[in-house]
Amino acid sequence: MNSSFQIGKIMGIPIKLHWTFLFIILVVAWSFGSSSLPWFGNTYGFGNVEPLSVRWIFSIAFAILLFICVGLHELGHSFVAKKQGVEIKSITLYFFGGVAAMDEIPRDSKLELRMAFAGPLTSGIIGLVSLLIAVLSSSMFGPKQPFTIFFWTLGWMNLILMIFNLIPAFPMDGGRVLRAWFAARMPYAKATRKAAEIGRMFAILMFFLGLFTLNFFMLFIAFFVYMGASEEEKATTINITLEGIKVRQIMSSDVRTIDPAMTLKEIKDLMFHEKHRGYPVVEGGELLGIVTITDLQKVPEEKRDITRAGDVMARKLYVIAPEEEASVAMKMMNESAVRRLPVMDAGRLVGIVSREDLVRAIELCSEQGL
């Protein structure tokens, strides 16, 4: 089941909503609709707005617009990236914010610096413009009017978003700024490692602060930052380790293929004896699909002697060329949730590369200090 759905495109970038986004809209609307605090001479929140119907109309509208601002924050990153030729696959809005999915974070420290600053800068501009509108509204209608409160609250929330994202906790924007600063002075892998260590340190501090104040949202953010820093460090290390290694260097060229008429019982016996978890299905030299142990497990034992490979094989294939980088193969496997890729050259099956091949290559390169 796809947990996100597309709502449109901006600058050619698909904009998606995660299902949790619908839940947090209501939570944010309730939070700001049930509270009202004095803030620099104005009111922050709609708790004192009357009548009740007006209060909740403004609260829900505020929650929706706030997350549109989060989307604009991500578009700020994406605009700079696209101007420099970096492909943005999509922007997904989650309940904790937005995430822009791109092919790869550029290793140009100056470009990463510009990209990292673009998001907070966008939030800062939105915040200042909103506060200016609030000041004008206050002079015309008064500080306690819903319209004034709306833009006053929106302005400060965007400024808070800007400041929060500039905390040097990797993988947040401030952490990426820090990584870019390190990368201008040391190898990229070391820069990522140092930024990730600082990110984890901030996450631990946030965790204890959230624990002592019973702030469960801060506890979640701490977990997100800690895991994000660790995953980014791991992904960067893998990509750098696999740099310069071609798929043809690590693939298995002696590929055992099976016929589409082969029964699942025969395939199971073959897997047991040869210790393979999947086989390409080939007929007349043409690759038709691939059968894995997962496909077998979907068919009851008593039906496997009458079910053919061609009946259950995966026909949607993710293939790779032998001259592609091994890091590209790893990325394709992660994104497609597959464990092996047929290697095709001029329409001909020349090998297969598995996740185990990639792990072995990483271990050997790490052992050699590469």
User: Contact at 8 Å (CB) between 325 and 245?
Assistant: yes
Q: Could you tell me the CA-to-CA distances from 250 to 219, 326, 356 in Å, in that order?
A: 42, 8, 10
User: Contact at 8 Å (CB) between 327 and 242?
Assistant: yes
Query: What's the burial of 253, exposed, middle or buried (CB within 10 Å: 0-12/13-18/19+)?
Result: exposed
φ, ψ dihedrals at 265, nearest 5°: -65, -40
Q: Could you tell me the CA-to-CA distances from 343 to 254, 281, 284 in Å, in that order?
A: 12, 13, 17
Distance CA 303, CA 299 (A): 7
DSSP symbol at 318: -
Q: Helix, strand, or coil here: 256? A: coil
Q: Which of 74, 112, 232, 233 is catalytic?
A: 74
| Six-digit token string for 15 | 């904009």
In the annotation, is 74 catalytic?
yes
DSSP symbol at 298: T
Which residues are marked as active site?
74
